[in-house]
Structure 1
């Protein structure tokens, strides 16, 4: 991922200022910038984006195609959108039909009172132009970004659920005691999950977080994120037709056991290969299934890339021996003249053989 070394902020009155990144997050494609050596700039108040309603008038501000600052108008056409072509993308967005084109990303989506509802981030298009389906990051999530930035963080940390789940469809609703489809059925749970500590288990249905209905895992993580790390969320659970409310601690993914991160040096057959022992934090960073254990590749390096290894691969066996830690892998790759390796990639087990 490239890192900007020179950031210029250009105002509508053509003044320019230097700025630097305070906090960034690649997953949401959002960063907090601090403008250097300036005071007295006006700002937009943040709207409670949970109060935004479908049908509200909205203005999208941006610099489409580099023509200069432009304002387009429309309405809020949807809420709780994933932003994906098939509805399965990551995130939680406000949808608007205000024309948004390339160059609008990072611009404000404001209401008729001038309050910030969200920040424009993407469009749904097949041609590259606006088709009236644009997405904005809600203001409440932006507020959570600002809170962590003010606390000194340089990257956004989402609360860790430590569980997996899937939306409850029409065919599952009645057997689970629901009068209509909705909620998330818990399909997996990590032993260190704060949800498990609160009393939830596989087979439970999560219907709401802090009184707000959730229907996808992305919605649930969004609700946890806007509540904030270090706090508690009230989760509504349905089990055997009985509803209950449980308090769940919102924590960062634990670094236990220690990841023991290392990068193989020139004495190894694969110099530059970066490894880590899998723990909840590594699971979250790499998007690995909750049940995975062992040693993960966090960077395949130039030589790992040549033989087909990828970031997120889990190394299971090297030269016939199971490996439990990054140092185990280093030992095998340092002393061997040729290597056979078995890795887990998703649901596949792949075998690699190579020699210098």
Structure 2
């Protein structure tokens, strides 16, 4: 009996010893704990401390519900340092790091701290507020940095065990566990991040942003970005940006881009609901029905037309515009994507060339001078690239206000306003708009298009 007991104890200790030296590969090993997995992955997850200098206005009316808006430009400005705390993941031995844009965007000083307490300065190679991703390069780092391997995020299934590693609340590196609870989540994460997400129930707290979401093999499947919660705590739904999009960000950063370029669809549409599916002869809801196409749209050139339904991109189903743009972005600029579409009731596959929105006509950006009726207003000719950047309607033409400047903001102008006329004189391009504003005189009437609404703005200098 004693020998049998000793044999069982030896077997248990042998199992524990082997679990300490390798990643869990079976259900039995997983039940023993995630310690081996964490030891392998944690060195590649870093803490990020960022500083940015912003101009703040000190006004005696601050906090007043009426006068703070009436006198929003009243008072002196002075620089103020803002600090942000987040996490990041090392993706290469050369020190390429991915994090969230809301952690490092517009930062003037970035410090990256490893879990072994080594510290390095870093600079942003590429950032994108819309996707809430940023790629950094460690400065003066050795060429043998610990890093994680990217897994194809399209192979992730609901129910997989995952770990979230980051630096919540600035307390140091922590690990939380959960499962992948949903795929293809779009438009659900609060903040700047928009697009396609993996959903997890692993707790994600403030400071986890930019941290790693890994599978039981230690491979990276997503970058933690947001949590949807009613209480403000971690008892909510977490969202992670899939690694397939991260890979495209890294590729463009290595190619020398400082901003992320997305393939342009030049189309607008809406998800197909049950009523629309019945009218289109579909057996179930799904896909995106095209409502309009820009004349330069690559979808139009491939033979698509309003009323067609886009069902999938490269074999992956899409049900929202965010999902379609995500799939096109993953395919990458300069490549081709196979769109499964429903045309006149018949499904077929159409190949589309993926390219950035064209700069035709030239945007010819200008900023009005001191002699202008409204100085320091930045104007651009509208073209597909401007439509994409400023999120204007597909049919937009003319001149857009990219930055109203201090005077324009006081007059009520906003970025994205389309300037149609000044004192009755039409402004089809930036040169005519600049001339009209210079000759406007002391009484000004501006014809503005904002959100599809026509607005007349009258004021006297």
**TM-score bin, normalised by smaller chain:** over 0.9
Contact kept in structure 2, 1:98 and 1:134, CA below 8 Å: yes
What is the correspondence of 1:198-237 to structure 2 with a 5 Å cutoff? Answer: 198-237=302-341
Task: Please name the residue that 2:144 is paired with.
Answer: 40
| Alpha-carbon distance in 1 for matches of 2:371, 2:355 | 39
Does residue 447 of structure 2 align to residue 342 of structure 1? yes
> What are structure 1's unaligned runs of at least 5 residues?
none
Moved beyond 6 Å, runs of 4+: none
SS of corresponding position for 2:449: strand
SS of corresponding position for 1:222: helix
| Alpha-carbon distance in 2 for matches of 1:193, 1:277 | 18
Aligned Cα root-mean-square deviation (Å): 1.3
| Count, aligned residues | 354
Does residue 113 of structure 2 align to residue 3 of structure 1? no
Task: Please name the residue that 1:320 is paired with.
Answer: 424
| Alpha-carbon distance in 2 for matches of 1:256, 1:323 | 18
What is the correspondence of 1:93-108 to structure 2 with a 5 Å cutoff? Answer: 93-108=197-212
| Alpha-carbon distance in 1 for matches of 2:217, 2:235 | 26
| Alpha-carbon distance in 1 for matches of 2:199, 2:332 | 24
Does residue 166 of structure 2 align to residue 72 of structure 1? no
C-alpha displacement of 1:127: 2.4
Task: Please name the residue that 1:247 is paired with.
Answer: 351
Q: TM-score, normalised by structure 1?
A: 0.97
Contact kept in structure 1, 2:422 and 2:440, CA below 8 Å: no
Contact kept in structure 2, 1:177 and 1:240, CA below 8 Å: no
| Alpha-carbon distance in 1 for matches of 2:115, 2:287 | 44
What is the correspondence of 1:46-125 to structure 2 with a 5 Å cutoff? Answer: 46-84=150-188, 90-125=194-229
Select 1:18's aligned residue among 111, 115, 121. Answer: 121
Task: Please name the residue that 2:92 is paired with.
Answer: none
SS of corresponding position for 1:236: strand
Contact kept in structure 1, 2:337 and 2:351, CA below 8 Å: yes
Q: TM-score, normalised by structure 2?
A: 0.75
Deviation track 1:143-164 (CA, whole Å, cap 9, x = no partner) reads 0101111111011011000000
Does residue 423 of structure 2 align to residue 354 of structure 1? no
Contact kept in structure 1, 2:332 and 2:354, CA below 8 Å: yes
Does residue 280 of structure 2 align to residue 164 of structure 1? no
| Alpha-carbon distance in 2 for matches of 1:347, 1:268 | 27
| Alpha-carbon distance in 1 for matches of 2:146, 2:436 | 60
| Alpha-carbon distance in 1 for matches of 2:279, 2:186 | 27
Higher-Rg structure is 2
Task: Please name the residue that 2:372 is paired with.
Answer: 268
C-alpha displacement of 1:329: 1.2
SS of corresponding position for 1:94: strand
Structure with a larger share of its residues in helix: 2
